[in-house]
């Protein structure tokens, strides 16, 4: 049984481009994971082919069975989080252990700190 968690500073999930996103990841597993990393990425959802782009990865050296690690990213200027009738772009953090276990936290990146709603698309 494993327990994985991603916590942002002040539990914040809405950001502006260029802002710092910081927090802490933690995990508790039956055995020490061989590897652990945190990914900042975006993906599309909706009709058509799904696109995924990993923007930055933080690898955690010598992960223990039960561990806590701080993290810090400077968010990119684009693309913005948006939602339309056919497709949405979603930003997320994903904690990945070598065993294949994952935890994900969706975030929003836009100039208004809110997902942009596309009209007619």
Distance CA 6, CA 110 (A): 21
CB 82 within 8 A of CB 112: no
pLDDT digits (tens, 9 = 90+) for 62-98: 999 999 999 999 999 999 999 999 999 999 999 999 9
**Structural domain boundaries of the chain?**
3-117
Length of the chain: 121
Q: How far is CA 13 from CA 19, 85, 93, in A?
A: 12, 23, 10
For the question of whether the overall pTM of this predicted structure is more than 0.85, the answer is yes
Decide yes or no: CATH 2.60.40.640 for domain 3-117.
yes
pLDDT digits (tens, 9 = 90+) for 51-65: 999 999 999 999 999
Written as one string, the DSSP assignment of 72-117 is EEEPPS-PPPEE-SSEEEEEEEEEEETTS-EEEEEEEESTTSSPEE
């Amino acid at each position: 049984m494993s327990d994985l968690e991603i916590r942002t500073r002040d539990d914040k999930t809405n950001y502006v481009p260029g802002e710092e996103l910081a927090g802490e990841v933690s995990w508790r597993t039956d055995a020490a994971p061989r590897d652990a990393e945190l990914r900042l990425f975006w993906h599309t959802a909706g009709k058509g082919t799904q696109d995924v782009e990993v923007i930055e990865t933080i690898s955690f050296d010598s992960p223990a069975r039960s561990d806590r690690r701080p993290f810090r990213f400077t968010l990119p200027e684009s693309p913005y989080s948006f939602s339309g009738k056919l497709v949405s772009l979603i930003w997320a953090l994903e904690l990945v252990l070598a065993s294949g276990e994952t935890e994900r936290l969706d975030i929003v990146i836009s100039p208004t700190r809110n997902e942009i709603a596309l009209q007619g698309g």
